[in-house]
């Protein structure tokens, strides 16, 4: 029978449920099992697409164009689970679907209620990814914290599934916190209360992942087990990783977590093959060199705003046996008249400009791109970063002082970046951008063609604005290299600087497909160029 693992959180938010669920998925795959990952977000938004990065971190995009929570990015980095819109569930989606069915008369005049109608909709969505006959286990992360009213319908749906499928086929993993009070003493009381809260929702956890800064000793684990009705072997120390979060599958395995979960589900499997993860951690611990990457962006106050970019840079480091130090540079601070570019970028070996929306800080990004182009510093532009390259080239080489994106200057005579034609009359901002994977044709003899070693690639997109075809002839005439186009030749997908060691911008988001065991080609090449720059 199909198996399910529900991962919930207690005490407080941001404990790392997503990384815990992902690590469990990695361990199950290492045992030869096929997994599917599902994230439940209890907010009323239909998806994360219209949310500020400061509210919810980055928006992770799947192949089919779903705009999802960043935890799906963790799933993609740790596991081989296919990710699409069915892997992301929100309260908004659930209630929208139920209300639409009610309006269509599909409930035959019955009163529509949270139970059974909302919970039935949740259950159907939770079970859908696991219906593939090849799937062995579906891992479902329930966002939020147990005790939040927003999570109650989802916990009730989980309770019903566990009751209907049986405790051997659907199990619960609860992530909690053991905080240290003054003097460094660890306290288990918050964990005891968090488990009690879950039990009041009708769910007895089968395993606990105890978050703490330092390892939880055996005595404390036994104490927690006795207070929570959880077997001692199921109380796992989820202390902070010392080197990288990719240590977690190894940390859990060393405590027998995967063996315990398989025993609870009655699954026999082969021994875990964790050689890939062991090698990843070894490369983190034993780098042969170190590079510093200046990331010039708009949302630097919250690390999660560029989560996939940070991870993809580290993956590029793994591929080059290099430690990657990221220098966060708020682009708006570069706009001041007295900003000294040479001083700001003196210690960086490469510059990356990631995606973003809105005018704030865009002029600072242009300054960063100009510095990289003129001083031969490796430069990587992603989405907005490519558009910044085009704006900078237009202002400095073509001498169009007013060159800009129509997003920033709608009345510019030289709107070298402009809205897609099918975006001009769009009134709704949710799910209406160019989203998901699409094909790009690469020009032979270019840097991007050399990096991929292919004539065409498929990468994911998330944007409304494109390089304007009206100005493309002028850009190319003056030397800017357009090195990738859509198959019909209508849209610019990549540009490169001539006579530059590594100056490349892409309209796609290659960071979304990067994994520690399979780094994105562009990040691998970029970090390689930065290593070469550092050595020179």
Going from the C-alpha of 117 to that of each of 104, 106, 107, 272, the distances in angstroms are 14, 11, 9, 41
Annotation marks residue 511 as catalytic: yes
Are 7 and 17 a contacting pair, CB within 8 Å? yes
Task: Tell which residue, 246, 211, 209, 242, has the closest CA to residue 77.
Answer: 246
Structure token digits, residue 524: 């691998």
DSSP codes joined into one string, 228-292: HT--GGGEEEEEPPSS-GGGHHHHHHHTTHHHHHHHHHT---PPP--HHHHHHHHHHHS-SEEEE
Going from the C-alpha of 390 to that of each of 396, 407, 479, 518, the distances in angstroms are 10, 14, 11, 30
Are 26 and 127 a contacting pair, CB within 8 Å? no
CA torsion sign, 354 to 355 to 361 to 363? Answer: positive
Structure token digits, residue 459: 């990468």
CA–CA gap between residue 48 and residue 65 (Å, rounded): 12
CB atoms within 10 A of CB 229: 11
CA–CA gap between residue 57 and residue 70 (Å, rounded): 7
Task: Tell which residue, 518, 492, 507, 512, has the closest CA to residue 66.
Answer: 512
Peptide bond preceding 83 in cis form (omega within 30 of 0): no
DSSP 59: P
Annotation marks residue 383 as catalytic: yes
Annotation marks residue 508 as catalytic: no
Active-site pick, 29, 174, 509, 530: 509
Tell me how long the chain is. Answer: 536
Q: Counting runs of H as helices and runs of E as strands, what totals does the chain give? A: 18, 21
Active-site pick, 67, 407, 493, 511: 511
DSSP codes joined into one string, 469-519: TTTHHHHHHTT-EEEEE-TTS-SEEEEE-TT-SSEEEESS-GGGG-BTTB-
CA–CA gap between residue 231 and residue 234 (Å, rounded): 5
CA–CA gap between residue 352 and residue 293 (Å, rounded): 7
Neighbouring C-alpha atoms within 13 Å toward the C-beta of 414: 17
Listed in sequence order, the residues at least 6 apart from 166 whose beta carbon sits closer than 8 Å to its beta carbon are none
CA–CA gap between residue 2 and residue 114 (Å, rounded): 26
Neighbouring C-alpha atoms within 13 Å toward the C-beta of 344: 22
Active-site pick, 383, 407, 414, 466: 383
List active site positions. 383, 509, 511
């Amino acid at each position: 029978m199909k198996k399910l693992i529900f991962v919930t959180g207690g005490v407080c938010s941001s404990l790392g449920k997503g990384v815990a669920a992902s690590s469990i998925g990695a361990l199950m795959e290492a045992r030869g099992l096929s997994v599917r990952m599902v994230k439940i977000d209890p907010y009323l938004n239909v998806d994360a697409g219209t949310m500020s990065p400061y509210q919810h971190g980055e928006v992770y995009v799947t192949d089919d164009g779903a705009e999802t929570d960043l935890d799906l990015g963790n799933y993609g980095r740790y596991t081989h689970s296919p990710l699409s819109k069915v892997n992301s569930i929100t309260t908004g989606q659930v209630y929208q679907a139920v209300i639409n069915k009610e309006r269509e008369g599909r409930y035959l005049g019955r009163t529509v209620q949270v139970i059974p109608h909302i919970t039935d909709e949740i259950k159907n969505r939770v079970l859908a990814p696991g219906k593939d006959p090849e799937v062995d286990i579906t891992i479902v992360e329930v966002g939020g914290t147990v005790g939040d009213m927003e999570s109650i319908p989802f916990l009730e749906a989980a309770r019903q599934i566990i009751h209907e499928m049986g405790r051997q086929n659907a199990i619960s993993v609860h992530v909690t916190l053991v905080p240290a009070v003054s003097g460094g003493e660890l306290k288990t009381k918050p964990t005891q209360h968090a488990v009690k809260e879950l039990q009041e929702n009708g769910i007895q956890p089968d395993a606990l992942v105890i978050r703490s800064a330092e390892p939880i000793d055996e005595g404390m684990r036994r104490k927690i087990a006795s207070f929570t009705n959880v077997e001692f072997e199921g109380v796992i120390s989820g202390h902070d990783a010392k080197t990288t979060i990719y240590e977690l599958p190894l940390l859990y395995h060393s405590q027998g977590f995967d063996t315990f979960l398989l025993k609870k589900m009655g699954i026999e499997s082969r021994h875990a093959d964790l050689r890939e993860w062991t090698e990843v951690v070894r490369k983190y611990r034993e780098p042969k060199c170190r590079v510093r990457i200046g990331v010039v962006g708009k949302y630097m106050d919250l690390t999660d705003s560029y989560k996939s970019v940070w991870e993809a840079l580290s993956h590029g480091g793994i591929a080059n046996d290099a430690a990657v130090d990221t220098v966060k540079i708020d682009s708006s601070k570069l706009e001041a008249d007295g900003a000294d570019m040479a001083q700001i970028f003196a210690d960086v070996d490469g510059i990356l400009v990631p995606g973003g929306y809105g005018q704030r800080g865009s002029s600072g990004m242009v300054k960063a791109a100009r510095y990289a182009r003129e001083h031969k510093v490796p430069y990587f532009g992603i989405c907005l970063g490519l558009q910044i390259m085009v704006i900078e080239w237009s202002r400095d080489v073509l001498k169009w002082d007013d060159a800009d994106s129509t997003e920033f200057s709608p009345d510019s005579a030289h709107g070298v970046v402009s809205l897609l034609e099918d975006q001009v009359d769009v009134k709704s901002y949710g799910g209406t951008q160019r989203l998901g994977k699409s094909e790009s044709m690469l020009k032979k003899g270019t840097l991007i063609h050399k990096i991929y070693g292919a004539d065409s690639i498929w990468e994911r997109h998330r944007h409304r604005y494109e390089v304007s075809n009206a100005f493309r002839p002028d850009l190319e005439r003056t030397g800017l290299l357009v090195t990738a186009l859509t198959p019909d030749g209508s849209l610019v997908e990549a540009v490169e600087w001539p006579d530059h060691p590594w100056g490349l911008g892409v309209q796609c988001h290659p960071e979304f497909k990067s994994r520690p065991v399979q780094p994105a080609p562009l990040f691998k090449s970029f970090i390689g160029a930065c290593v070469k720059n550092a050595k020179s």
